[in-house]
Amino acid sequence: MLTSKEKIIIAALNQFSRKGLFATRIQDIATEAGISQGLLYRYYKSKNEIYVDLIEDALDKMNEAVEGIASLNCGGREKLLNSIEGMYKTIEESDRYRQTSSLIAQAMGSEAIPQEAKDALKNKRDLPYQMFSKIIVQGQKEGTIIEGDSYDLAVLFWSTLNGLTIFRNTRDEKRPLPDKRFIANIFLKEKI
Amino acid sequence: MLTSKEKIIIAALNQFSRKGLFATRIQDIATEAGISQGLLYRYYKSKNEIYVDLIEDALDKMNEAVEGIASLNCGGREKLLNSIEGMYKTIEESDRYRQTSSLIAQAMGSEAIPQEAKDALKNKRDLPYQMFSKIIVQGQKEGTIIEGDSYDLAVLFWSTLNGLTIFRNTRDEKRPLPDKRFIANIFLKEKI
DNA sequence: GTCTATATCCAGATAGAC
DNA sequence: GTCTATCTGGATATAGAC
């Protein structure tokens, strides 16, 4: 059985991810959580507070996942392939990831979000690029990944996966994503 | 000298692209346009009406640009390179494109936008994929573009460019985008 | 802990003067 | 055409009963 607070979190994530902070009413969250509007204020001081909590949590989860892959004890090429594999699985199967990625995408695209949410984004959004840049450098040293500025390649990697995530999130028909090898071959010296 | 209506359009596009439909107040638009709130209603019946106008216009502009490239009288390989060149120029230089792409990205990510805006999106968002798919097929027949499902490759192409556009739009420091050749080589048989 | 009722505020939209 | 003043509705947040 879920506590009221847990029900609020789950409902708020779903509502915010679908409609954004400003189009979501407190009433929407309360209704989906199956509680009254008043009760919500036992657990949170304001709508913004829920939102900031969710944004911080989403960014932390994202960074933990990336750190998990980067800290594997294997070659850069394997880390790359592993990242693509993991991201594809997550994008295609996880409803929770659809929600958190939509939440972050919307937050990044709006200047009107609360200052605390902006701060969290600013502090936490760069880690994936840095981690992946290190993976690229490792692979370049090992001779398995193409030459080029490692941060540029990291930007390209995440931009491509973000773009595919958004494409997937915004279509009803769940068409399979393009073959993983197309992504891998952007970076690999020896194509697969 | 701009008419009041033109000033409203320009201000609304800027406000909506930065804050989204729901966080933007009529007052924000009127202030930026340098007119009173009341005057705005001489030209538009509601905030939603301005928004729907802008969305439809943004989608039309996007599709016109794509059709322009696809109808060039040249090989598929050249159309591909031309598309990348054109998109890079637009992403890096055009403030207007930053606004329209943000507007569309936000609209795609929210279920709360007006029905007319949803309809416009649904009807007009697929054309770029279809056009690019044809370019891919042409290049495959000519032997210049790699094998694979042409619509999948079109999805990959636009997802990558959308991802890069969003990356660019959400960073203050205007770091140059990754080398165009990385994108081209995803699709070209003979790498450059 | 939970609900209902309500106070307060603010944004969208309208009316009417100039 | 343009502005100021106002109406109205709805959403956030609070108060108070159970």
Residue-wise pLDDT for B49-58, tens only, equals 999 999 999 9
With CB atoms and an 8 Å threshold, state whether A148 touches B179.
yes
The closest alpha carbon to B88, from B152, B179, B169, belongs to B179
pLDDT value at position B122? 97
Flag whether B66 is in a domain: yes
Asked if pLDDT for residue A38 goes beyond 90, the answer is yes
What's the mean pLDDT in B24-42?
98
CA of B162 to C1' of D7 (A): 45
pLDDT value at position B69? 86
Asked if pLDDT for residue B102 goes beyond 90, the answer is yes
Cα(B188)–Cα(B139) distance, integer angstroms: 9
Query: With a 7 Å cutoff on the CB, does A175 touch strand D?
Result: no
pLDDT in tens, B111-121: 999 999 999 99
Identify all chain A residues contacting B110, using CB atoms and an 8 Å cutoff.
18-20, 23, 106
- Which residue of chain A comes nearest to B186, CA vs CA? A186
Asked if pLDDT for residue A40 goes beyond 90, the answer is yes
Flag whether A84 is in a domain: yes
B140 and B105 housed in the same domain: yes
**Total Cβ atoms within 10 A of residue B3:** 9
Nearest-CA distance B153 → chain A (Å): 7
CA dist B62 to A27, A57, A106, B117, Å?
Answer: 37, 35, 21, 15
User: What mean pLDDT is reported for chain A?
Assistant: 97
Asked if pLDDT for residue B174 goes beyond 90, the answer is no
Residues with CB under 7 A from strand C: A 4, 35-39, 42; B 24-27, 37-38, 41, 45-48
Flag whether B192 is in a domain: no
| D2 C1': nearest CA residue | B39
What's the mean pLDDT in B126-153?
98
The token pair at B107 is 């609209």
- Tell which A residues from 84 to 123 touch B, by Cβ distance under 8 Å: 102, 105-106, 108-112
Asked if pLDDT for residue A173 goes beyond 90, the answer is no
User: What mean pLDDT is reported for chain B?
Assistant: 97
Range of the domain at A7: 1-44
Asked if pLDDT for residue A60 goes beyond 90, the answer is yes
A91 and A182 housed in the same domain: yes
Which bases in strand D are touched by protein, i.e. have an atom under 7 Å from a CB?
1-5, 10-16
Asked if pLDDT for residue B124 goes beyond 90, the answer is yes
pLDDT value at position B26? 98
B128 and B180 housed in the same domain: yes
* DSSP conformation class of A177: P
Q: Please report which confidence band the pLDDT of residue B177 belongs to, taking 50, 70 and 90 as the band edges.
A: very high
B22 and B113 housed in the same domain: no
Flag whether A82 is in a domain: yes
B38 and B58 housed in the same domain: no
Cα(B47)–Cα(B12) distance, integer angstroms: 9
Asked if pLDDT for residue A70 goes beyond 90, the answer is no
A35 and A94 housed in the same domain: no
Flag whether A160 is in a domain: yes
Q: What is the CATH number of the domain that holds B20?
A: 1.10.10.60
Written as one string, the DSSP assignment of A61-111 is HHHHHHHHHHTSSS-HHHHHHHHHHHHHHHHHH-HHHHHHHHHHHHHHT-T
Question: CB neighbours of A166 closer than 8 A, spacing ≥ 6?
Answer: A101, A105, B105, B108, B109, B159, B162, B163, B166
A17 and A72 housed in the same domain: no
Provide the number of structural domains found in chain A: 2
B110 and B164 housed in the same domain: yes
At residue A25, the 3 state secondary structure works out as coil
Asked if pLDDT for residue B70 goes beyond 90, the answer is no
B81 and B25 housed in the same domain: no
CA of B38 to C1' of D2 (A): 8
Nearest-CA distance A178 → chain B (Å): 5
CA of A37 to C1' of C13 (A): 28
Asked if pLDDT for residue A183 goes beyond 90, the answer is yes
Q: What is the CATH number of the domain that holds A89?
A: 1.10.357.10
B10 and B102 housed in the same domain: no
B27 and B121 housed in the same domain: no
Flag whether A49 is in a domain: no
Nearest-CA distance B106 → chain A (Å): 7
B4 and B92 housed in the same domain: no
pLDDT in tens, A93-142: 889 999 999 999 999 999 999 999 999 999 999 999 999 999 999 999 99
CA dist A26 to A23, A39, A94, A165, Å?
Answer: 10, 11, 26, 28
